[in-house]
């Protein structure tokens, strides 16, 4: 199972500690995880907002507040995907409460179905004007229709 983890936090040190803990070799062997060599870091997002000091019309009496949001992305492949997701949830709840996660599970059957649809597409075949050619072409069209319907109802 392929898993992409997007990590968001206002504290950059907590992201570094999470990645350091998560890249521990003993931990990776226990969950049978292979981690991609590089972790992708999005640009830092800065948010500035202003609040008035006085409740009246004194517009010059303002205070400016700013915070930065740091984002990192980790790509993983694991044979024990469900166990890994439970472990990540427990880590977040118990140790790293200031981190926010967005976990994407990438299913391989969907990619396989896309590849198969591209290979079985009837537009890639030539119709031969005899009975056997028409029969094989109709089988290809039938299988292509099944793949389209299956992908729409199962994955859509």
Mean pLDDT of 15-33: 81
Give the residue from 81, 71, 95, 100 showing the smallest Cα distance to 32: 81
What's the pLDDT at 108? 59
pLDDT band at 45 (very low <50, low <70, confident <90, very high): confident
What's the pLDDT at 117? 62
Of 3-12, 13-22, 38-47, 96-105, the least confident: 38-47
Tokens of 136: 């094989």
Partnered with residue 78 across adjacent β-strands are 33
Give the residue from 89, 84, 90 showing the smallest Cα distance to 102: 89
**Could you give the CA distance from residue 95 to residue 18 in angstroms, rounded to a whole number?**
9
C-alpha 18 chain-centroid distance:
18
Mean pLDDT of 13-38: 79
What's the pLDDT at 116? 57
pLDDT of 56 above 60: yes
**Could you give the CA distance from residue 56 to residue 10 in angstroms, rounded to a whole number?**
32
Quick: pLDDT tens for 72-108.
888 887 777 788 888 888 888 888 888 888 888 876 5
User: In this structure, are residues 91 and 16 in contact, taking their beta carbons and an 8 Å threshold?
Assistant: no
CATH architecture label of 2-106: 2-Layer Sandwich (3.30)
Partnered with residue 101 across adjacent β-strands are 7
DSSP assignment of 5-16 equals EEEEES-HHHHH
Mean pLDDT of 14-23: 84
């Amino acid at each position: 199972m392929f898993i992409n983890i997007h990590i968001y936090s206002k504290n950059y040190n907590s992201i570094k500690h999470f990645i350091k803990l998560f890249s521990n070799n003993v931990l990776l062997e226990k969950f049978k995880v292979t981690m991609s060599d590089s972790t992708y870091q999005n640009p830092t997002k800065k948010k500035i907002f202003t609040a008035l000091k006085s409740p009246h019309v004194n517009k010059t009496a303002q205070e400016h507040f700013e915070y930065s949001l740091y984002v990192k992305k980790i790509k993983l492949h694991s044979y024990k995907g469900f166990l890994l997701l439970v472990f990540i949830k427990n880590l977040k709840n118990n140790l790293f409460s200031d981190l926010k996660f967005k976990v994407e599970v990438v299913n391989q059957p969907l990619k396989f179905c896309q590849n198969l649809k591209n290979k079985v597409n009837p537009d890639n075949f030539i119709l031969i004007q005899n009975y056997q050619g028409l029969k094989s072409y109709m089988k290809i069209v039938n299988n292509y229709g099944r793949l389209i319907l299956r992908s729409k109802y199962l994955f859509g």
